[in-house]
Amino acid sequence: MARAMFEYTKTVLKKVSFNSDLFCKELEKALNMLLPYEIKELTIWIREFTANKPELYACMYLIK
């Protein structure tokens, strides 16, 4: 079940990536919901996903 939530989170983040405010809100929700090892995986995925999307860099402060 937890893995499904991680995949769902990635899907949601992809869909809202057109708006940095929505992306930040969904990222914050995900960080509160996911397990610690999933957050590490999500951090890696987000860095790769936002590599060519500078408008989403503002949300990186949420990831410590």
Q: Taking the alpha carbons of 56, 27, 64, 21 in that order, is the dihedral positive or negative?
A: positive
Q: What is the pTM of this model?
A: 0.89
Report whether 27 contacts 62 (CB < 8 A). Answer: yes
Q: Taking the chain (64 residues) in consecutive chunks of 10 residues, what is each chunk's mean pLDDT?
A: 86 96 96 93 94 91 84
Query: What are the residue ranges spanned by the domains of the chain?
Result: 2-62
pLDDT at residue 64, as a whole number: 73
How many helices and strands (H and E) does the chain possess? Answer: 3, 0
Question: What burial letters (b/e) apply to 19-50, b meaning 16+ CB within 10 Å?
Answer: ebeebbebbeebbeebeeebbeebeeebeebb
